[in-house]
Amino acid sequence: MLHTIKKMLRIIDKNLTILAVLEQKMKGRQTFVIKAKLTPYFSHCPHCTYTKDPFTEKQAVVKNGTKISRIRFDSFNHIPLVMELAKQRYFCRACMRHWTAQSYFVAPHCFIAKHVQTKILALLKEKISLRLIASLCHVSITTVIRVLKSTEVYLPTRKQTYLPSVLMVDEFRSHTSLEDKMSFICANGKTGQLVDILPSRKLNYLVHYFQKYSNRDCVQFLVTDMNAAYFQLIPRVFPQAKLIIDRFHVVQHLNRAFNTFRIKEVARLRQENKHHLANRLKSNWRFLLKDRVNINPSMYKTWRNFRAPKFPYLTEAMMIDRLLDFSPALRFTYQVFHELTEAFRRKDHERFFEQLQTLPDQLDETFRTTISHLLSYKEGIRNAMIYPYSNGKLEAMNTHIKTLKRVSYGFKSFQNMKTRIFLMNDLIKMT
């Protein structure tokens, strides 16, 4: 029976003997307590290697009492489990030294089993707070932080000496106590594997960081958003790289420009006391951004602010057409906006920039100025339509980082945050 308990605890130490299993209260909580004894056999002294005392010819190694250690194990049936282990102490008559028996499942001078540390490492890969991990493992939060810090030596950034041919760069808000609240993140554009996370996104800091890599000339593409600071990395650090503007940010820029104009039209309708028209234009704004290829022209139904029986059943195309009837300027802007987005989706960069350069004068001044700003990123946007690379994988990684920050209530230590992100992406290999 007691041998079966050893199997349940995944203990294979033949020198450990389980004496009893009790249930008692410890620190106000019901706890399983396993009484055990560890008595390995020593044929010679591990320090002087003598088997016998050279003067008395007696056996050199003799038993010298026991030392009780209370070792924390993983919980059993959601109840904390503790082992009170009596470790045999020994004395050598030859060299006059004392030592205590040790077992593989707990490190010397440690009172938490390696099984628990393995569980903590597994939970650190999940998007949960350190306090929750401490509660699940029945340890203190200091212990969880200590286990987290022990993995820093295995960070791949400590021995990484090369950069990928396609480098994705971005930033995220880290809320750490360092000088820059925005942290820099870069990843492999082909595999999506995280390369590094830096505490600052300032240009001088990034230039100094990337100059330590010897294969900077091998970086062929730099994928980024419309942050002008990152463009300057190409002439200063990556002379052979081509700039690629992330396609999502181009579409987002166009959508925001059109939405800003739509909000302006809603405000104008309210000033003219056409509140019912303004409310319809406000509540159905998503349909104006929808790709015209995907608009349904055949299914009749009711729509928000177009309720029957006051309004007949309408198709999606008919409802959008009614919205555009509220404002001739909106209809004209809608046509120009969708011609641009359709050219971009088809990756027809010649048509896209031709339309940008020949925008009609009848367009709203603010809308025309906003979308004309894309011409300053002409090279990067053209490369985005030619080459298949984007920041999609890096943006997905940023979403997971934001979730981790939220459930962890922020990070005070940048290094702890960085280590957890690498653990979360399964990039730290314990060897």
- Amino acid (one-letter) located at 270: R
Average confidence (pLDDT) over 321-348: 94
Average confidence (pLDDT) over 304-327: 88
pLDDT of residue 357: 94
pLDDT at 9 exceeding the cut of 90? no
Confidence of residue 429 (pLDDT cuts 50, 70, 90): confident
pLDDT at 334 exceeding the cut of 70? yes
Instruction: Render pLDDT for 382-415 as a digit per residue (tens, 0 to 9).
Output: 999 999 999 999 999 999 999 999 998 888 888 9
Tell me which residue of 287, 289, 249, 259 sits closest to 381, measured CA to CA.
249
Average confidence (pLDDT) over 281-296: 93
pLDDT at 65 exceeding the cut of 70? yes
Print the SS3 string covering 261-279.
HHHHHHHHHHHCCCHHHHH
pLDDT of residue 310: 79
Q: Pick left, alpha or beta for residue 301 (phi over 0 → left; psi -120 to 50 → alpha; otherwise beta).
A: beta
pLDDT of residue 179: 60
pLDDT at 55 exceeding the cut of 80? no
Helix, strand, coil tally for the chain in percent (to 5): 45, 20, 35
pLDDT of residue 384: 95
98, β-bridge pairs: 91
pLDDT of residue 27: 83
pLDDT at 373 exceeding the cut of 80? yes
Say how far apart CA 319 and CA 323 lie, in whole Å.
6
pLDDT of residue 2: 67
pLDDT of residue 318: 92
**Which of 8-17, 83-92, 213-222, 344-353 has the least mean pLDDT?**
8-17
- Amino acid (one-letter) located at 77: N
Q: Is the C-alpha dihedral spanning 38, 43, 45, 46 positive or negative?
A: negative
pLDDT of residue 431: 63
Instruction: Render pLDDT for 201-251 as a digit per residue (tens, 0 to 9).
Output: 889 999 999 999 988 999 999 999 988 789 899 999 999 999 999 999 999
- Please state, for a pLDDT cut of 70, what percent of the chain lies above it: 98
Say how far apart CA 392 and CA 411 lie, in whole Å.
25
Tokens of 51: 């088997």
Local structure of 358: helix, strand or coil: coil
Confidence of residue 287 (pLDDT cuts 50, 70, 90): very high
pLDDT of residue 176: 62
Instruction: Render pLDDT for 137-195 as a digit per residue (tens, 0 to 9).
Output: 999 999 999 999 999 999 988 877 789 999 999 999 886 655 678 899 999 999 999 99
pLDDT of residue 93: 87
Confidence of residue 1 (pLDDT cuts 50, 70, 90): low
pLDDT of residue 393: 93
Tell me which residue of 286, 316, 288, 290 sits closest to 303, measured CA to CA.
316
**Mean pLDDT across the chain:** 90
Q: Pick left, alpha or beta for residue 109 (phi over 0 → left; psi -120 to 50 → alpha; otherwise beta).
A: left
